[in-house]
Amino acid sequence: MEPGSSASVAPSLRKSILSTDLASSVGRLSRVSPVRRKDDRLPFVEEDRLIPEPVLFDTTVYIDVLHDKLSQHMQQEIGRVEPWHCTVVESEMVYLTGRLDPAHPGTAEAVRRIGGVVEHWLPDRVLNPDREIWREAAILTGILSRLHHTKDDDRGRTMNDALIFLTASKHGCAVLSRNARDFDLLMQLVPAGRAVFYHVN
pLDDT at 133 over 70: yes
Q: Is 34 left (phi over 0), alpha (psi -120 to 50) or beta?
A: beta
pLDDT at 13: 46
Q: Measured at the alpha carbon of residue 86, what is the angle toward residues 195 and 171, in degrees to the nearest 5?
A: 60
- Cα-Cα-Cα-Cα torsion 52, 200, 57, 72, nearest 10 degrees, comes to -60
Q: How far apart are CA 147 and CA 32, in angstroms?
A: 10
pLDDT digits (tens, 9 = 90+) for 151-193: 777 789 999 999 999 999 999 999 999 999 999 999 999 999 9
- How do residues 68-101 score in pLDDT, each as one tens digit? 999 999 999 999 999 999 999 999 999 999 999 9
97-108 mean pLDDT: 95
pLDDT of the residue at 105: 95
Residue 56 and residue 164: Cα distance in Å, rounded? 9
Mean pLDDT over 35-58 rounds to 93
Domain positions in the chain:
46-197
Q: By the 8 A CB rule, do 164 and 56 touch?
A: yes
Which pLDDT score, from 0 to 100, does residue 48 have?
79
Q: Please enumerate, as own/partner, the contacts of 13-17 that have beta carbons within 8 Å and a separation of 24 or more.
A: none
**From CA 33, how far away is CA 88, in angstroms rounded?**
26
Report H helices in the chain.
Answer: 10-29, 59-66, 72-80, 87-99, 107-118, 131-148, 152-170, 180-189
Query: Which of helix, strand or coil describes residue 124?
Result: helix
Domain 46-197 part of CATH 3.30.450.20: no
Q: What is the pLDDT of residues 1-38, one digit of tens each?
A: 444 444 444 555 444 444 568 888 888 777 878 899 99
Position with higher pLDDT, 47 vs 1: 47
Q: Which is it for strands 174-177 and 126-127: parallel, antiparallel or unpaired? A: unpaired
Q: Quote the mean pLDDT of the chain.
A: 89
Which residue type does 116 have?
Answer: G
